[in-house]
Amino acid sequence: MSRPPTSRDLARLAGVSQATVSRVLTNNPKVNAETRARVLQVLKDANYTPNALARAMKTGRTDTIGVFMTRVTSPFHAELLDEIGRVLSSMGLHMILWNIEHDPEETIAAVVQQRLVDGFLLTSATYDSTLHTMAVTSGTPTVLLHRGIDGLDCDQVVGDNWQGAYDAGQYLVDAGHTDIGLVTLTHTGNTSRDRDLGFRAALADAGVKIKPSNVVSVGVPHADGHAAAEKLLSRKKPPTAIYTVTDLLAFGILDGARAVGARVPDDVWVIGFDNTDMAAWEAFDLTTVEQPVHAIVEAGVDLLRDRITNPDRPTQVVTLPCPLVIRGSTANRR
């Protein structure tokens, strides 16, 4: 129990060379059926598992994927992480998880160089971070998931945030809303940007002006949505609908509405973005734009594995549709 048995130990036990044991382990066809059977039996009896480090050092592959994420406690991110774990595991891959908030830049830079992983999944790329460029220039296979970077020569899988936001805007306009609140994020991801721009485009196309005072830029937490709602809804003439760029903010907005006594959807409609599991809870019953988490992760991991085996193929950007999911936080009242 002190030292795990090595392939050499087992070779001795089976009366063959270490090379033959290794051949059995790697399913090398050039090994006699009887020999293979005998070796397999010995391996099984000894409950042997190859040393992953030695194997990785020799083959250059670790069967491990590095995942960079932020704010795991955010419902959408948790769902994304869960899905990534599920998909990687189903392919026999391990996952090392780094949190962009916690891990200092130099740690990340070191990791990118270290070849600890066969590839990276970046889920939280922002324009003011250098992580994605470090990853890409390191030559390690990398896929941007969920958040993309326009023009970056790197595989990317993103939702069609712009179109989803556009649909949400159109839905509000079609329902007759003209005084509409917009709660956006201050940070610089492509998601929040497109979810902002697409929404504005829909309103502009319909000739609906959005008042500057109806636009609030906030941080990511629930409390910020709460504060934004209080600000918007405690005005003399509050907007009749509020759209925001994440479900988490929408939950905050719903809570803020509760706090100031505004009824949803009677007094104000609320629309979020992500369609997290929680959006379907009675407490929120939130109309929201769905992100196809499963499809995004599936496609992303496929791209990554493909690139690992085929590093020189041209990069690819996959965009997946984000359908509007209508629930009780909005209601056709026209």
Binding site for a second copy (CB under 8 A): 1-2, 4, 47, 49-54, 56-57, 62, 64, 71-73, 75, 78-79, 81-82, 85-86, 89-90, 92, 94-99, 102-103, 107, 110-111, 113-116, 137, 139, 222, 226, 251-252, 254-256, 258-259, 277-278, 281-284
Strand partners, 99: 69
Among 15, 176, 311, 328, binds DNA (CB under 7 A): 15
- Residue 51 interacting with DNA (CB under 7 A): yes
CB atoms within 10 A of CB 298: 17
Return the one option of a second copy, DNA, none that residue 107 interacts with (CB less than 5 to 8 A, by type): a second copy
Instruction: Count Cβ atoms within 10 A of the Cβ of residue 34 and give its class: 0-12 exposed, 13-18 middle, 19 or more buried.
Output: exposed
CA-to-CA dists, residue 65 to 68, 117, 141, angstroms: 10, 5, 10
Return the one option of DNA, a second copy, none that residue 314 interacts with (CB less than 5 to 8 A, by type): none
Closest listed residue to residue 233, CA positions, set 195, 209, 264: 264
Please tell me what DSSP assigns to residue 5: P
Stretch that binds DNA, among 26-34, 91-99, 163-171, 305-313 (CB under 7 A): 26-34
Tell me whether residue 60 or residue 151 sits nearer to a second copy (CB atom): 60
Among 37, 45, 57, 281, binds DNA (CB under 7 A): 57
Return the one option of DNA, a second copy, none that residue 7 interacts with (CB less than 5 to 8 A, by type): DNA
Specify the 3-state DSSP secondary structure of 145: strand
Structure tokens given for 81: 């992480």
Stretch that binds DNA, among 25-33, 150-158, 202-210, 245-253 (CB under 7 A): 25-33
- Residue 64 interacting with DNA (CB under 7 A): no
Residue 9: phi and psi, rounded to 5, are: -55, -45
- Residue 34 interacting with DNA (CB under 7 A): yes
DSSP-derived secondary structure for 306-333: HHHH-TTSPP-EEEE---EE--TTS---
Return the one option of a second copy, DNA, none that residue 187 interacts with (CB less than 5 to 8 A, by type): none
Return the one option of DNA, a second copy, none that residue 318 interacts with (CB less than 5 to 8 A, by type): none
Return the one option of a second copy, DNA, none that residue 59 interacts with (CB less than 5 to 8 A, by type): DNA
104-132 burial: b if 16+ Cβ within 10 Å, else e: eeeebeebbeeeebbbbbbbbbbeebebb
